[in-house]
Chain A
Amino acid sequence: MSITITLIAQVLAFTILIWLVNKHLWGPLSAVLDARQKKIADGLAASEKGLQEQEMAQKRAEEVVNEAKRQAAEIIAKAKSRDTQMIDEAKAKAAEEAERIMVGAQAEIDQEVNRAKDGLRKQVSALAVAGASRIVGKEIDINVHKNALKDLIAQI
């Protein structure tokens, strides 16, 4: 029940035990615990990062889709305007062509009419000359009555 040399022995024992515990129990185990803690922290950080990245990718995908939609609408609008333009052009061309054909036809008709008229005039003048010569009984010199004939033809 008194302080003896045993105290010194126990001091030594305690010191050695502290050293042993530090080296063989605390050291390895706390290293493992720290490593585990770090691993879990890293995992959590990675998952957080993954989530963020996914969100970003989603946003980007949305943007791309929207851009595509916008472009498609633009293309459709362009195509529509081009469509009407083409129809208009075709209509104009067709009208022009029709006009041109009609004009040509008219000119031909006029020409035919004129030719027919000329033919008729000539025949009428010949008939008139022949009728007059019968009535008068003698040959009428065309050249003499040229002017009268011309007047007549012009009147027909």
Chain B
Amino acid sequence: MSVENSDGGGGTVAYIQHHLTNLHTGEGFWTINWDSIIISALLGAVIFWMAKKVKADLESGVPGKFQNFVEMILEFVQTQVKDSFPGHNPLIAPLALTVFLWVWLMNFMDLVPVDLLPILAEGLGVSHLKVVPTTDLNTPLAMALVVFVLTVYYNLKIKGPIGYLKMFLFHPFGKMAVPANIIMTAIEELAKPLSLGLRLFGNMFAGELVFLLIALLTLGATLSAGLLIWFPLQTVLDLAWLIFHILVITLQAFIFMVLTIVYLGMAHETDH
């Protein structure tokens, strides 16, 4: 365990707090969460490695198993784009694929036993390690922000500045309620990226917390009769939550991808 001190509630709180603290430098806004950045970058590298491997496969002409697997993901993403995105934009599909792969891989870090990587890191002299980048609010919000910027960009490009302005002025209540329209549309537009980022963050944070709570069952326990009850219970709970979480991480990655496609699709619509 990362916290040896186990006398009462203090140890529990310290354990959880330690797990929820990023490896960071700097203060206030200028805090850099190194673990989020490094782990997400490594997972990005995994995607890049995957791309390289597939590329090597492609050159041989005959599709291998790995290529088939990646093609399956690619076609799945392509289907989603076809279903939810009107018109054609060559950026949308690779964007959606990136979102899906990256979010899924980052979420997948949640399935690694909660104490494993922090203990290994501590052995290497790293004081804190929060292994799931999506439980760091900055990562989901960063992605949501990119999507938001793209949404605004395509709104301006497709609808034109005047068309975009008209959307704020006359939507949703028509010409009679311009001030209300501005407020409503602004809230609507801002709620999109916020909900997009916060949904992913909330789900992953909560999932991580449940793993921590399950881990707490035997935290600091000594070899005693009580352990005979708590240890099997912990194992069963952990396994159940793990299996359920496979669904959650995939679902969250999928939702993030679909909403990205839908929001950008709305930006491409001109009938507002």
Assembly CA distance A7 to B36 (angstroms): 10
Nearest chain-B residue to A16 (Cβ)?
B44
Contact A29 B71 (CB under 8 A): yes
Please name all residues of chain A whose beta carbon is closer than 8 Å to the beta carbon of B29 when the two chains form the complex: 3-5
Contact A7 B146 (CB under 8 A): no
Please name all residues of chain B whose beta carbon is closer than 8 Å to the beta carbon of A14 when the two chains form the complex: 98, 102, 142-143, 146
- B31 partner, pick from A6, A18, A33, beta carbons under 8 A: A6
Assembly CA distance A80 to B88 (angstroms): 77
Q: Does B94 contact A (CB under 8 A)?
A: yes
Nearest chain-B residue to A20 (Cβ)?
B48
Contact A26 B94 (CB under 8 A): yes
Contact A7 B51 (CB under 8 A): no
Segment among B111-119, B132-140, B174-182, B227-235 that sits at the interface with chain A:
B132-140
For the complex, count residues of A whose C-beta is within 8 A of B: 29
Contact A4 B55 (CB under 8 A): no
Contact A29 B40 (CB under 8 A): no
Contact A10 B95 (CB under 8 A): no
Please name all residues of chain A whose beta carbon is closer than 8 Å to the beta carbon of B141 when the two chains form the complex: 3, 7
Q: Does B33 contact A (CB under 8 A)?
A: yes
Assembly CA distance A20 to B74 (angstroms): 15
Contact A18 B74 (CB under 8 A): no
Assembly CA distance A28 to B50 (angstroms): 13
Please name all residues of chain A whose beta carbon is closer than 8 Å to the beta carbon of B125 when the two chains form the complex: none
In the complex, which residues 9-34 of chain A have their Cβ closer than 8 Å to any Cβ of chain B?
9-11, 13-18, 20-22, 24-30, 32-33
- Given the interface pairs A24-B52, A25-B50, the reply to whether A7 lies near B145 with Cβ below 8 Å is yes
Nearest chain-A residue to B78 (Cβ)?
A30
Contact B139 A10 (CB under 8 A): yes
Please name all residues of chain A whose beta carbon is closer than 8 Å to the beta carbon of B101 when the two chains form the complex: 21
Please name all residues of chain A whose beta carbon is closer than 8 Å to the beta carbon of B67 when the two chains form the complex: 29
Q: Does A136 contact B (CB under 8 A)?
A: no
Assembly CA distance A28 to B40 (angstroms): 24
Q: Does A2 contact B (CB under 8 A)?
A: yes
Please name all residues of chain A whose beta carbon is closer than 8 Å to the beta carbon of B22 when the two chains form the complex: 6
Contact A24 B55 (CB under 8 A): yes
Q: Does A135 contact B (CB under 8 A)?
A: no
Q: Place the interface of chain B in its size category.
A: 35 or more
Q: How far is the CB of A17 from chain B (nearest CB, A)?
A: 5
Please name all residues of chain A whose beta carbon is closer than 8 Å to the beta carbon of B136 when the two chains form the complex: 6
Q: How far is the CB of A114 from chain B (nearest CB, A)?
A: 117
- Given the interface pairs A6-B36, A30-B93, the reply to whether A21 lies near B31 with Cβ below 8 Å is no
Nearest chain-A residue to B54 (Cβ)?
A29
Would you give the 0/1 interface string for A103-143, flagging 1 where the beta carbon is closer than 8 Å to chain B? 00000000000000000000000000000000000000000
Contact B41 A2 (CB under 8 A): no
Assembly CA distance A127 to B207 (angstroms): 171
Please name all residues of chain B whose beta carbon is closer than 8 Å to the beta carbon of A3 when the two chains form the complex: 29, 137-138, 141
Nearest chain-A residue to B43 (Cβ)?
A17
Q: Does A156 contact B (CB under 8 A)?
A: no
Contact A33 B75 (CB under 8 A): yes
- B40 partner, pick from A13, A21, A32, beta carbons under 8 A: A13
Q: How far is the CB of B132 from chain A (nearest CB, A)?
A: 13
Q: Does B191 contact A (CB under 8 A)?
A: no
Q: Does B152 contact A (CB under 8 A)?
A: no
- A11 partner, pick from B31, B44, B146, beta carbons under 8 A: B146
Q: Does A1 contact B (CB under 8 A)?
A: yes
Contacts A17-B98, A28-B54, A29-B74 given; 11 further ones with Cβ under 8 A?
Answer: A2-B137, A3-B138, A3-B141, A6-B36, A13-B41, A14-B102, A15-B146, A20-B47, A27-B94, A29-B70, A33-B71
A-B residue pairs in contact (CB < 8 Å), sample of 18: A4-B26, A5-B31, A6-B136, A6-B138, A7-B142, A10-B40, A10-B133, A10-B139, A11-B146, A13-B40, A20-B51, A24-B52, A25-B50, A25-B74, A26-B93, A29-B54, A29-B71, A29-B74
